[in-house]
Structure formats: structure tokens, C-alpha cells
Amino acid sequence: MFLCYIGAVYLKINFILKEDNKEFYLKFIQENKTSLNNIELNLTQTIENKFYLFFKVNLLKIKDFIISSDYKFFNIIFEKEYINTINVSGRLTSVIENKLQEFFKLTIVKCGSTTKNSILGIDFLANKIDSPFFSLAEQNILNLFKVGHLISVVTERINISKKEKLYPYLLVNISEGVSVYRVDSKDKFQRVGGNNIGVSTYWGLVKLACKYDDPYVAVQDAIKGSNELIDLSVGDIYGGDYTTFGLDSSLLASSFGKFKNMDRSKISNCDISRSLLTTLCVNICLISCLVADIEKVDNVIIIGNALVCLEFMQMVQMSMNFFSKEKIKTLFSDYSNFVSNIGNSL
């Protein structure tokens, strides 16, 4: 089975294959790993006698993919598994549909609700894999909000099983915007909130300000950047700690608060990207924590396009801890980009 979710930046691709051919595929990948450079192999997994491959293909590099060894590998799978259809969800416009048929020469099967499929996929993972989720060990919850604090250090992962203890939870889907769902079972869920500031907001602004042509590069630069020259701290406003309310002088008071008085040529793209990523993270987590408090739900599962690195997950967890006063358990998954595909396969 060949499944594809079309996101804003990536094709998220799943192959569900015969376990008998597992060793052949793993050997092929190992022997060709230097030439398979236009796809990102995220995971392999065996579930219920089926072999799962999880790939991402950067849509901005799709032309390189079509003429690469990666594309040949896909065709080997098509022939070996007798695949002649592709199950597609996400942003399937007529233009993209025609391109997919042109690229893969397969019949397009349009799938149903992405949200419902994501919830089905999460339920499947929770019941079929020992520890499909993880959180990140605690850091100082104020670190994210300290102007100039580096985010390149990530604490250890703590693997978590939610078998028989999954529900209820909030599903926070970080996409073009952000959607928040209360999930009481795999068949009972409702949208309970959202935010218009999502990945596409970050991507549009960082492209405008820094001329990035790849959001993945922008995020990696943000990890290396500092917001000290751009964001306004409590100390910049009050000249020190704001003791009346117990606010440390280094805490973030205003995103881009200094930028209005700065010479753009003296500020690096890394620093601007960092400030924008922090703004995105704070807005996502603030709305999520408010909804969680209203819904009286303590578990939050984060999925979506922005989770391309552990550093961003660390930022999210620190924000959720801060806004919820450590009441919320934030869960991530290596499968977060693929849960809709998994649900489509059921």
C-alpha cells in the first residue's frame, strides 16, 4: 500500500509492505544510502506482520526527486509489491493531483477526513506499539522566555506508552494554522479551538524577512540563532527585574520589540528566524493551554509540520509547562507526520 499526505512543504509518504520483503528493502537502503539523498527516511517499523516505511519528500525539491535514485527505489517497490494506486489526503488540488499522476503514474484514490484519519492513526499506534510517544525531560521552564537563551541543547527523551490510557486528550495539529481537538475516543472528537498563526505564518514571514527558500533551513538556523538583538526583555523596559510581579530582567517582554530601532543589515537571518520561531511557539502553546484548561484535559498530543526537530519540541514543551504551571503532559511522537496516513490504511 502506498499512502501520501500532502502538506505545505513535504509529501509525507508511507509504504505498507509485505514483511517477507523487509530484508531486501533494508539492504537496498543501506547499500544506496549515499545516493538516496532526495528523500528523508524517518522510520521503519514492523506492525502486525507488515513492514512500514516512513518517508518525507521536500516539495521544493520535487524535480530533483523525480530524476534521482530515490524515485527509482520507489518504482522498485511499486513493481515488487504490485502497487498501482496511491491513497492521497491533504492539500490535493487539481494541479497537485495531475502532478502526482504524472510523477508516479498511479491511480489517485482520494481519502477522507484528515483529522479523523489522524485520530485513528494515533489510536492504532497507541495499541500496537509499546511506546509510540515521548516527552522531553524537564528544563527550567523559563529558559525559552529568556532573551538570548540558546535552544540548541535538548534534554533526554522519555518514552511513554498510552495503551488503555490514551483518552481523553487534546490533539494539537500545527499546520498552516493551528487546530485543537478534544478526543474522547477514536470515534468521538470535536474541534474546540484554533489559531491563525501556524507554520505557514512562520514560513511566510521568515521568507519575507530573510529570503529563505526552504523552511527546514530556516528552522535549523533558528536553533543556532539568538533573539537578544531583536526581542525586548523585561530589563530593557524597567532597567532590571520587575520585582512587583517577580519577573526576571531577562524574560521576553515583546517579540521584535527592539527590531523597530535596529539596522536590518546588522541582524543575522538566524536571529530573526529564532525570534519568529519563538513567537510561533508561544502563540500555539498559549491557545492550547487555555483550551486544555477549559476542557479539563491534562494530556496534549502535538502533531504537524513544524515538528522537524527535537529543539522545536523542546520549545513547545517548555511553553506548555510555563502556561499550564506544569499541569499538562505534552506528548510527541516520531510518527506525528504520518498519523493521517496510518489512519488511511485502516
Do 53 and 202 reside in the same domain of the chain? no
Q: Share the mean pLDDT of the chain.
A: 87
Do 241 and 319 reside in the same domain of the chain? yes
Q: With respect to residue 19, please indicate whether it lies within any of the assigned structural domains.
A: yes
Distance CA 79, CA 67 (A): 18
Strand partners, 261: none
- Is the pLDDT reported for residue 275 higher than 80? yes
C-alpha torsion 336→340→344→346, nearest 10: 40
Q: Provide CB contacts within 8 A for 45, sequence distance 6+.
A: 51, 52, 54, 129
Q: For residue 35, what pLDDT is reported?
A: 65
Q: Provide CB contacts within 8 A for 217, sequence distance 6+.
A: none
Do 184 and 99 reside in the same domain of the chain? no
Q: Which of 111, 143, 162 is the last residue of a domain?
A: 111
Residue 219, classed as helix, strand or coil, is helix
Name the band, by pLDDT with cuts 50, 70 and 90, for residue 43: confident
Give the model confidence (pLDDT) of 78-95 as tens digits.
Answer: 999 999 999 998 877 888
Count the domains in the chain. Answer: 2
Distance CA 218, CA 200 (A): 13
Do 182 and 63 reside in the same domain of the chain? no
Query: Cβ of 49: how many Cβ atoms within 10 Å?
Result: 8
Give the model confidence (pLDDT) of 321-341 as tens digits.
Answer: 888 988 999 999 999 989 999
What average pLDDT score do residues 179-199 get? 95
pTM, two decimals, is 0.89
Q: With respect to residue 315, please indicate whether it lies within any of the assigned structural domains.
A: yes
Q: Which of 79, 111, 143 is the last residue of a domain?
A: 111
Q: With respect to residue 166, please indicate whether it lies within any of the assigned structural domains.
A: yes
- The answer to which of 14-18, 188-192, 216-220 has the lowest mean pLDDT is 216-220
Q: Which of 81, 111, 141 is the last residue of a domain?
A: 111
CA 150 to mean position of chain CA atoms: 20
Do 139 and 19 reside in the same domain of the chain? no
What average pLDDT score do residues 202-219 get? 89
Q: For residue 10, what pLDDT is reported?
A: 81
Q: With respect to residue 107, please indicate whether it lies within any of the assigned structural domains.
A: yes
Distance CA 27, CA 23 (A): 6
Q: For residue 181, what pLDDT is reported?
A: 98
Q: With respect to residue 181, please indicate whether it lies within any of the assigned structural domains.
A: yes
Q: For residue 67, what pLDDT is reported?
A: 81
Q: With respect to residue 56, please indicate whether it lies within any of the assigned structural domains.
A: yes
- Per the model's pLDDT, the better-predicted residue between 154 and 317 turns out to be 317
CA 209 to mean position of chain CA atoms: 22
Q: For residue 330, what pLDDT is reported?
A: 94
Q: With respect to residue 282, please indicate whether it lies within any of the assigned structural domains.
A: yes
Domain that holds residue 149: 133-337
Distance CA 211, CA 204 (A): 10
Q: With respect to residue 288, please indicate whether it lies within any of the assigned structural domains.
A: yes
- Is the pLDDT reported for residue 37 higher than 80? no
DSSP E strands, 73-187: 85-90, 107-110, 133-136, 157-160, 169-174, 178-185
Return the top range by mean pLDDT from 138-147, 245-254, 266-275: 266-275
